[in-house]
Structure 1
């Protein structure tokens, strides 16, 4: 199970968290977010996939950010249509992943996923709330028992250390865990020690940065 740490903002903190070697690191390009990113991304280990988070953005602006920051993944957190995702996919190189987000509550209809299967690489399920994301609460994961697809997905929404046992017991194709607000000192500033504890419990086999480079 892979780990995505989202809502990164400060260069020094980005390097600190990058030393934990998460699989994905998310940068939010939605101006209304308290974690809105507009700085420079310091050089990271190539195994970390830099992910741009967008909300109802134009294809032109998404492509501009991909080029500027050398992003390896795009997370669509708005009301992007199947047609939009297809048009974006046709603009991107094959190695750039598209993650389509769906906000889930008790009324979520999983039938909406089917048309998206061919135009994105992963789904991401987050808690439906006032904001497109970052609401800091979990949704009822039992709803995912209705999941009709074999496409791997990211699980997001208020996830902290306490949720790990439940996550590991889900009999579902959870590809990655997406964490954010539960590991923050303030919006955009992550607690490295808390993230390290979470990572060790989620992925006990994960090497730390120093061990990895010793092996290399």
Structure 2
């Protein structure tokens, strides 16, 4: 999210999370002030290979409830960050998935983050607008809940709901580029339709 009026409009539908990208190279880079939102919405800062000091600064400045790490952050980095954040601030570690994804890379991160997020491996760290082959998730070896991301649009909601109905620990659905009018500006009606159609798990 990027624009105050748009943030408030989408926030009126009470999504569980709302993301703000603090990576300066992104077209969705957020450098404003987050308007007042309902308390139930977890404001989430998205970072790419950022320093712990900057992450903590942004968490405090914007009163963030979650941090999404979208770069090549190590296990040690995640544990160090976790030790310096308040206990109730969630850490979401992103992994870019291709058809041959090796799930064993997740094991060291089990105790270093609260959730995994699986996005499509692409040229950019997120926002590529393409899905990966979700069948690869059948090999998911963990019980840790995860966010499903990567090119999810309104046309993918039925397929998403089928995954939610499986035994996979799908915790949340992360949508972005396919719900945009332009980078950072969401189509309000599409967002509302998606929230109404996604099956609660």
Instruction: Normalising by structure 2, report the TM-score.
Output: 0.96
How far 1:66 sits from its partner (Å)?
Answer: 0.2
State the structure with bigger RCO (CA 8 A, min sep 6), 1 or 2: 1
SS class of match (1:53): strand
1:94 equivalent in alignment to 2:94:
no
Paired residues for 1:154-193 under 5 Å: 154-170=147-163, 171=166, 172-193=168-189
Task: Tell me what 1:197 maps to.
Answer: 193
Task: Tell me what 1:44 maps to.
Answer: 37
Paired residues for 1:7-156 under 5 Å: 8-156=1-149
Runs of 4+ aligned residues of structure 1 deviating over 3 Å after TM superposition are none
Alpha-carbon distance between aligned partners in 2 of 1:19 and 1:168, rounded to the nearest angstrom: 23
Task: Tell me what 1:209 maps to.
Answer: none
SS class of match (1:179): coil
Q: Give the length in aligned residue pairs.
A: 198
1:51-70 per-position Cα deviation (integer Å, ceiling 9, x unaligned) = 00000000000000000000
8 A Cα contact 2:153 2:179, kept in partner: yes
Alpha-carbon distance between aligned partners in 2 of 1:167 and 1:188, rounded to the nearest angstrom: 23
Instruction: Normalising by structure 1, report the TM-score.
Output: 0.90
Task: Tell me what 1:207 maps to.
Answer: none
Alpha-carbon distance between aligned partners in 2 of 1:198 and 1:97, rounded to the nearest angstrom: 24
| 5+ residue gaps, structure 1 | 1-7, 205-216
How far 1:203 sits from its partner (Å)?
Answer: 4.4
Q: Does 194-203 or 22-31 show the bigger shift? A: 194-203
1:66-92 per-position Cα deviation (integer Å, ceiling 9, x unaligned) = 000000000000000000000000001
How far 1:166 sits from its partner (Å)?
Answer: 1.4
How far 1:107 sits from its partner (Å)?
Answer: 2.4
1:145-194 per-position Cα deviation (integer Å, ceiling 9, x unaligned) = 11000000000011011212211222211100000010111111001111
